[in-house]
Amino acid sequence: MAHLKTTSNEYAIALGALFDEMPKSVIAAIAVSAMTSGGDHLSDAIALVAGEWRTLHENRIVPQKPGKHARNALKGGAA
């Protein structure tokens, strides 16, 4: 399956230049922190982030479908 090369969405656009300069690792840290109450529930991070990805895709915020690891996490397996 070919991956889409879309690098923007309405959320990225809202962040403007901040998004452009922010490393992917910082975005991941923010996502995990936000989804796990500041890191209090890190064991839930994979399923929570995978679930949010699915929701964003289903609502056409991002065109990229959740990948194999995300789908597996949503089924209750290890990512």
Percentage helix, strand, coil for the chain under 3-state DSSP, each rounded to 5: 60, 0, 40
pLDDT by residue (tens digit) across 25-43?
999 999 999 998 888 888 8
Percent over 70 (pLDDT), the chain: 90
Domain coordinates in residue numbering, the chain: 10-74
Interhelix angle for 24-35 vs 45-58, to 10°?
A: 100
Please tell me the predicted confidence (pLDDT) of residue 7. Answer: 72
Global pTM reads 0.78
- Burial of 54 by CB count in 10 Å (0-12 exposed, 13-18 middle, 19+ buried)? middle
